[in-house]
């Protein structure tokens, strides 16, 4: 059994802007829990008791959040000052590793306990999954249960081909192999560079059907959160999330339907309706007449009277005015939204929503997507958002504005 792991958490995650302008992507909350916590709980279930986090961008946030112990796992921190590849990142962790097999995970992505448990049982191994857009990842050739080749981001690949999740179980000699790899032209050393040596040993392909969700774009926070909530009342869900439960105060005329968790200190006002799966965070106030449907609301938020939130994720300390309607939207920390704001989420039938990422128009693959609001954004009264638009961290949108493109 593998007892140590390396978690790669150093990168500057520009494709998930504006949600990660000021915070490391591994600390993004999925179902009100930082993704790193989900990964560490899965590793603990797999029997890991030591982990090295390779940190870089805003590393103090990660160290402050986790400390040196989490769920029985001792944590050390290695610093990667420059983004010189996954292999280079692992080498920064080498001084903390014992002479025994170890796992390597991307701290960015959601990986459930089940594939982690299976991956820890095989050395060497690579956790692989099917994806509808395989060309975004390393496409893996598997024969008789073993990995034979990995094609990094090919121009063409059949839909739902097997791709690498970036989660490996490696033998101790992998460190020596990485030290002998010459950097590529861009200066990077990548883990797949040692695949030929691993293939000679026999790399087991651990296939997961629904245990991996990459967090590549900001709207992936919505999809990963929904996936986690679908696991409520399952064994995996019990490892990662607290159960549906009412710990706060619910007005006698409010209605709770389905799986709902109302955290300590939260208050649900008169006539409000909460439809699960939904989480209402600690010390959050939902005022009278609100509808909260399949939504996660963070800690210390306030939702104004008569507002409607459906299929949304709100992070912490969000303030929403009266009669606001948000659908399929992500709202960052400390965002303030005025009254009667609307976020349209649907484009003409049969067309998926597009959104601009790093200057390029990206097909989200989603038929519905509202707005993405970065931390500390300020949204005036009666603003209207069109599908897929984003507002950058700290930006202000003035009242009565129709937002047709990103506000940066």
Mean pLDDT, residues 368-376: 97
Judging by DSSP bridges, how do beta strands 138-143 and 203-208 pair with one another?
unpaired
Are residues 153 and 25 located together in one domain of the fold?
yes
Are residues 267 and 212 located together in one domain of the fold?
no
Are residues 76 and 219 located together in one domain of the fold?
yes
User: Is 408 domain-assigned?
Assistant: no
d(CA 372, CA 381): 17
Are residues 59 and 162 located together in one domain of the fold?
yes
Are residues 363 and 275 located together in one domain of the fold?
yes
Mean pLDDT, residues 261-283: 98
Q: What is the dihedral of CA 185, 189, 190, 195, to 10 degrees?
A: 100
Are residues 185 and 324 located together in one domain of the fold?
no
pTM: 0.95
Residue 119's alpha-carbon distances to 45, 163, 168, 247, 264, in angstroms, are 12, 15, 8, 36, 36
Are residues 368 and 331 located together in one domain of the fold?
yes
Is residue 15 very low, low, confident or very high in pLDDT (cuts 50, 70, 90)?
very high
Backbone φ, ψ for residue 204 (5° rounding) = -70, 130
Are residues 195 and 285 located together in one domain of the fold?
no
Residue 65 scores a pLDDT above 80: yes
**Tokens found for residue 296:** 């996660």
Tell me, what's the pLDDT at 240? 95
Are residues 251 and 208 located together in one domain of the fold?
no
Are residues 288 and 331 located together in one domain of the fold?
yes
User: Is 277 domain-assigned?
Assistant: yes
User: Is 151 domain-assigned?
Assistant: yes
Q: For 178-189, how does the pLDDT look when each residue is reduced to its tens digit (9 = 90+)?
A: 999 999 989 999
Whether omega for the bond prior to residue 273 falls within 30 degrees of 0, making it cis, is: no
- CA 175 distance to own-chain centroid: 28
Tell me, what's the pLDDT at 134? 87
Provide the 3-class DSSP secondary structure of residue 179.
Answer: helix
Is residue 168 very low, low, confident or very high in pLDDT (cuts 50, 70, 90)?
very high
Q: Among 233, 248, 281, give the residue marking a domain's end.
A: 233
Q: Among 233, 261, 288, give the residue marking a domain's end.
A: 233
Mean pLDDT, residues 245-250: 98
Tell me, what's the pLDDT at 35? 97
Cβ–Cβ contacts within 10 Å for residue 114, how many? 20
Tell me, what's the pLDDT at 310? 98
Domain carrying residue 21 = 4-233
d(CA 67, CA 61): 10
User: Would you list the DSSP string of 93-160?
Assistant: HGGG--SS-EEEEETTSEE-HHHHHHHTTSSSEEEEEE-S-GGGSEEEEEETTEEEEEEES-S---TT
Are residues 254 and 304 located together in one domain of the fold?
yes
**Tokens found for residue 347:** 């484009």
Structural domain count, the chain: 2
- Among residues 136, 134, 149, the alpha carbon closest in space to that of 205 is found at 149
Question: DSSP character for 210?
Answer: S
Q: For 110-165, how does the pLDDT look when each residue is reduced to its tens digit (9 = 90+)?
A: 999 999 999 999 999 999 999 888 888 889 999 999 999 888 888 777 778 899 99
Q: At what angle do helices 59-66 and 35-45 cross, to 10 degrees?
A: 50
Provide the 3-class DSSP secondary structure of residue 372.
Answer: strand
């Amino acid at each position: 059994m593998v007892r140590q792991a390396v978690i790669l958490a150093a990168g500057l995650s520009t494709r998930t802007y504006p949600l990660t302008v000021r915070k490391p992507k591994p600390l993004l909350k999925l179902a009100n829990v930082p993704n790193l916590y989900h990964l560490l709980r899965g590793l603990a279930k797999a029997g890991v008791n030591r982990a090295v986090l390779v940190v870089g961008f805003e590393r103090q946030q990660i160290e402050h959040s986790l400390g040196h112990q989490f769920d029985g796992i001792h944590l050390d921190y290695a610093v990667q000052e420059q983004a010189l590849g996954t292999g280079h990142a692992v080498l920064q962790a080498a001084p903390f590793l014992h002479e025994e097999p170890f796992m390597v995970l991307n701290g960015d992505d959601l990986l459930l306990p089940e594939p982690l448990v299976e991956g820890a049982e095989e050395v060497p191994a690579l956790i692989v999954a099917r994806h509808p857009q395989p060309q975004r990842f390393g496409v893996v050739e598997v024969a008789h249960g073993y990995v034979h080749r990995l094609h990094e981001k090919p121009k063409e690949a059949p839909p739902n081909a097997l791709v690498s999740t970036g989660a490996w179980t490696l033998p101790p000699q992998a460190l020596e192999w990485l030290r002998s790899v010459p950097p590529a032209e861009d200066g990077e050393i990548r883990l797949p560079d040692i695949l030929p040596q691993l293939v000679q040993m026999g790399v087991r392909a651990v296939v997961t059907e629904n245990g991996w969700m990459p967090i590549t774009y900001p709207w992936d926070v919505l999809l990963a959160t929904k996936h986690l909530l679908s696991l409520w009342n399952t064994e995996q869900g019990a490892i990662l999330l607290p159960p549906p439960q009412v710990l706060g105060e619910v007005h006698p005329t409010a209605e709770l339907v389905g799986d709902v968790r109302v955290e300590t200190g939260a208050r649900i006002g008169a006539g409000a309706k909460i439809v699960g799966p939904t989480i209402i965070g600690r010390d959050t106030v939902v005022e009278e007449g609100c509808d909260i449907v399949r939504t996660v609301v963070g800690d210390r938020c306030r939702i104004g009277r008569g507002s409607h939130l459906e299929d949304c994720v709100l992070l912490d300390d969000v303030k929403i005015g009266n009669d606001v309607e948000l659908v399929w939207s992500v709202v960052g920390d400390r965002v303030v939204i005025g009254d009667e704001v609307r976020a349209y989420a649907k484009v003409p039938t049969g067309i998926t929503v597009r959104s601009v990422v790093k200057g390029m128009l990206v097909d989200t693959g989603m038929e519905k997507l509202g707005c993405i609001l970065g931390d500390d954004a300020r949204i005036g009264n009666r603003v209207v958002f069109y599908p897929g638009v984003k507002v950058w961290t700290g930006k202000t949108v003035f009242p009565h504005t129709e937002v047709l493109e990103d506000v940066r």
